[in-house]
Amino acid sequence: MRRKAADLKKVQNGGEFMDNVTLQRIEKELSAWKGSEVRRKQLDGKRYYEGKHDILSRKREAIGVDGQPTEITNLPNNRIVDNQFKKLVDQKTNYLLGKPFVIDSDDKTYVKLLKNVFGKRFRKLLRKAGREAMLCGICWLFPYYDNMGRFSFKVFSGSDVYPDWLDDEHTQVQRAVRIYQKKVFEKGSTTPKFVDKAEIYDTDGIWIYTVEGSSLKPDPDCPRISYTAQGGKAYNWERVPLIPIKYSDDEAPLLNHVRCLQDGINLMLSDFENNLQEDARNTIIVLKNFDGENLGEFRRNLATFGAIKVRSDGEAGGGVDTLAITVNAENYKTVLDLLKKAIIENGKGFDAKSDRLGTNPNQMNIQSMYSDIDLDANGMEVELQAAFDDLLWFVDCHLSHISGANYFDEPADIIFNRDILINESQVIADIKNSVGILSKKTLVSQHPYVDDIEEELKRIKEEEREEMAEYQPFSNNNNQKGE
């Protein structure tokens, strides 16, 4: 896709403070967004990934004397977290972004420059962005120049950025507000203090504010900064330098699809352990002529001495009978297995312990196992391709400044190598059978041992030249004999 040429614009003098009408509108919108359901779900996604599930705040309750639920504190209350959600997120992130991606363009010089920009640091950053996009539905890439003047990138979480979109399709922003906490030290104090800050990003630079309730107060030390400075002059981008990375086009977090299943898994494990620990309650005790006035005394004597006193009144003999209640572990296991399979299906992951790998692990079975996660990765890859094209606009601006060349009209693509389990021998056999039918570049790109297509083709050419050089003396001798 071709990108329109652009440049950095010089910062205009004056206007160090945003106009009050715009600022008041931003304050209202930011306050509404901070308490919105959309942001709450984004924060829940991050919280569940960290293992802070709802089960941890669970209380044991029973119907009280007034007919209302009452907390019971003398019962086992296990809060077990089996974080299948984190496993699902890591699985899907590594599947699409775990292996190095390939940059493809007809201009080899352009490819070399892009590889320098999108190096190992960026690949690690992109993996983080993919994970954040799954947790929040959306995250943001921020291209910037660091203190050393190097062109770099940052990832902003979706729960930290409120976007003001230019269009209904949510493809480009005209302004965005990022909220965060900053650690500061007051004069003469060694104790840190955390202050809520807000940064407003637009084409005039970054406006910095301190959050006080629902109001934004300009930072007294630095109310506005430019995006970069070159040659002693400040410059801003012609676009807002925030590129959205989406998990899907509806920007819904992954947790929306599997939350009830994850809670069910935690609940099953916690209840099972509760029932095992309630050994005194697994057996209902029937008392006859108990030598005491209340059940508290009975339980204390039973726990302390291992014995109880009963009495016999004539024909009414004293004693203790029991009604045993057995905990069926198979029931819990069955429900737990169903929940774990359901979270894989609804979260569009894959079961690495599938029976299909043990009985007949052919390529068709493997592909069937990966079908759900592959379809989900296709959708996310479309979003990443669009984000990559937007990101290239800023990269091309950077390259035009450091090299003087214009690459805005040069198309480039990013190709993701998915970390899929394959039957390598079958794939290699298929590649051999396709020699002479498909191009060498296509065959090399499909080989399971190749990560960098261009580098592998270069090695093949070098080996062919070496073989030709070794063969050349024999060829010359044969020609001389023929003469």
**Domain extents for the chain?**
9-155+228-253+374-403, 255-346, 422-469
Evaluate whether 10 touches 234 at the Cβ level (below 8 Å): yes
On whether the CB atoms of residues 165 and 174 are closer than 8 A, the answer is yes
- pLDDT-derived band of residue 11, with 50, 70 and 90 as boundaries? low
Measured in whole angstroms, the distance separating CA 109 from the mean position of its chain's CA atoms is 33
Neighbours of 460 (CB within 10 A): 12
**Which residues, other chains included, contact 242 with Cβ-Cβ below 8 Å and sequence gap of 6+?**
140, 141, 142, 156, 161, 163, 173, 176, 201
Q: What distance in Å separates the CA atoms of residue 253 and residue 46, rounded to the nearest whole number?
A: 10
pLDDT at 293: 56
* Nearest alpha carbon to residue 256 among 44, 79, 431, 20: 44
For 289, other C-beta atoms within 10 Å of its C-beta total: 14
421, 428, 443 from 434: Cα distances, Å: 22, 10, 8
Distance CA 283, CA 360 (A): 48
pLDDT at 250 > cutoff 70: yes
* Residue that wins the pLDDT comparison between 271 and 353: 271
Instruction: Please enumerate, as own/partner, the contacts of 423-432 that have beta carbons within 8 Å and a separation of 24 or more.
Output: 423/361, 423/362, 423/363, 423/366, 424/448, 426/362, 426/363, 427/363
Lowest mean pLDDT among 56-60, 189-193, 256-260: 189-193
48 to each of 95, 285, 349, how far by Cα in Å?
21, 41, 17
The model's pTM is 0.80
Task: Determine the pLDDT at residue 2.
Answer: 43
Where residue 61 falls among pLDDT bands split at 50, 70, 90? confident
Instruction: Please give the share of the chain, as a percent, with pLDDT higher than 70.
Output: 80
